[in-house]
């Protein structure tokens, strides 16, 4: 059965593979840099969102050596909007490590030693770019395997069994194509919300389909409600420019340009003092979801001329899109600018 699954899926992939900017077709081996960059960007982010970022990054930094030489703040600004900003910081660290080594490590173990590279990314680069047999399990693969074998233990406890079954069906040859085929199948046919079994090349091998309820798999534990945090961002404006600060290197949105705030963080609400005294006017509230909590961020405008204390920079409002604000603070800025048009 396992050989049949891999053969059927590779045959389907040869006809139906998605065309993505980091992929190559035929005998040509993909560039490890492009594979690694795409896999880091794709962590908890949709393909549609990643494609334009990938294009801009590779145009600006076409090689790992070019990325290694880039100032971290420029990379962070280019990353703005993709979220999970520790990925960008680790991206720079890993690029510098690879440049120092003279190239990417050629084993899974070596790849796993790079900053920010975990089991999945190491396996993906090893299989897709280096031609190694590696077991690649992302969320799409996890779902496909859970359905093929009707694995009835709930996540996350089922992951060990899912990985073992994925190992069983991964072929010795074309492991990279097989991994991408599993990803494509999960992204286009065996999706979280639908199981288009009549189009699936593995329909006759799938225990979940035979059960009559393929959407039951993978079985997920009940979600815990995320806590709601609150905070305030402060808009301080002077002569067509807004005051921006650089967030601490460690912590939420570390190293990013942002509006000043009242000290909210992942584990606590805000409530700290405003950056300057004086009259403040409420400009509304924005809401943003992080992995482990939701945030309601009030936006306050300062009335009158001012000269903020501490480190920061006056950024032209008409060039605010170039500041690389993380999504949360971009929403806050949009709220302020929209309030003027109301």
Q: How far apart are CA 155 and CA 216, in angstroms?
A: 12
Closest by CA position to 91, among listed 21, 37, 11: 37
Burial of 26 per CB tally in 10 Å (0-12, 13-18, 19+): exposed
Q: How far apart are CA 39 and CA 110, in angstroms?
A: 17
Residue 166 in contact with residue 156, Cβ under 8 Å? no
Report whether the peptide linkage leading into residue 156 is cis, meaning its omega lies within 30 degrees of zero: yes
Burial of 304 per CB tally in 10 Å (0-12, 13-18, 19+): exposed
Q: How far apart are CA 144 and CA 163, in angstroms?
A: 11
Closest by CA position to 155, among listed 221, 224, 207: 221
Q: How many CB atoms lie within 10 A of CB 189?
A: 20
Q: How far apart are CA 218 and CA 136, in angstroms?
A: 17
Q: How far apart are CA 78 and CA 264, in angstroms?
A: 25
Query: What is the DSSP-derived secondary structure letter of residue 303?
Result: -
Among residues 11, 27, 39, 322, which one is catalytic? 39
Closest by CA position to 1, among listed 204, 200, 183: 204
Residue 39 annotated to the active site: yes
DSSP string, 129-196: TT--------HHHHHHHHHHTT--SPBTTTHHHHHHHHHHH--SSSHHHHHHHHHHHHHHTB-SS-B-
Q: How far apart are CA 73 and CA 257, in angstroms?
A: 9
Q: How many CB atoms lie within 10 A of CB 216?
A: 14
Kind and range of the H or E element at 313?
A: strand 313-316
Q: Annotated catalytic sites, by residue?
A: 39
């Amino acid at each position: 059965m396992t050989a049949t699954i891999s053969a059927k899926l590779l045959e389907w992939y040869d006809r139906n593979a998605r065309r993505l900017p980091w992929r190559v077709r035929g005998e040509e081996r993909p560039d490890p840099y492009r594979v690694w960059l795409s896999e880091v960007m794709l962590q908890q982010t949709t393909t549609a969102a990643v494609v334009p970022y990938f294009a801009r990054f590779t145009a600006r930094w076409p090689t790992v050596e070019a990325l290694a030489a880039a100032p971290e703040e420029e990379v962070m600004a280019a990353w703005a909007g993709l979220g999970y900003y520790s990925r960008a910081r680790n991206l720079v660290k890993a690029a510098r490590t690879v440049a120092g080594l003279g190239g990417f490590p050629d084993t899974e173990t070596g790849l796993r030693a790079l900053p920010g590279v975990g089991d999945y990314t190491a396996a993906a680069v090893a299989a897709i770019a280096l031609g190694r047999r590696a077991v690649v399990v992302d969320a799409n693969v996890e779902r496909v395997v859970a359905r093929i074998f009707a694995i009835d233990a709930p996540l996350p406890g089922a992951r060990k069994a899912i990985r073992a079954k994925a190992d069983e069906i991964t072929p010795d040859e074309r492991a990279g194509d097989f991994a991408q085929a599993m990803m494509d199948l999960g992204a286009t046919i065996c999706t979280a919300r639908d199981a288009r079994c009549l189009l699936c090349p593995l329909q006759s091998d799938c225990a979940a389909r035979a059960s009559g309820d393929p959407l039951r798999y993978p079985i997920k534990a009940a979600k815990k409600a995320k806590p709601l945090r609150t905070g305030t961002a402060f808009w301080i404006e002077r002569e067509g420019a807004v005051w921006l600060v650089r967030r601490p290197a460690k912590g939420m949105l570390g190293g990013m340009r942002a509006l000043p705030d009242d000290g909210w963080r992942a584990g606590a609400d805000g409530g700290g003092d405003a950056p300057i005294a004086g009259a403040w006017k409420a400009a509304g509230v924005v809401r943003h979801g992080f992995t482990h909590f939701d945030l309601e961020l009030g936006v306050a405008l300062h009335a009158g001329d001012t000269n903020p204390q501490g480190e920061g920079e006056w950024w032209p409002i008409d060039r605010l899109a170039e500041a690389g604000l993380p999504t949360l603070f971009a929403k806050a800025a949009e709220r302020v600018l929209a309030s003027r048009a109301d």
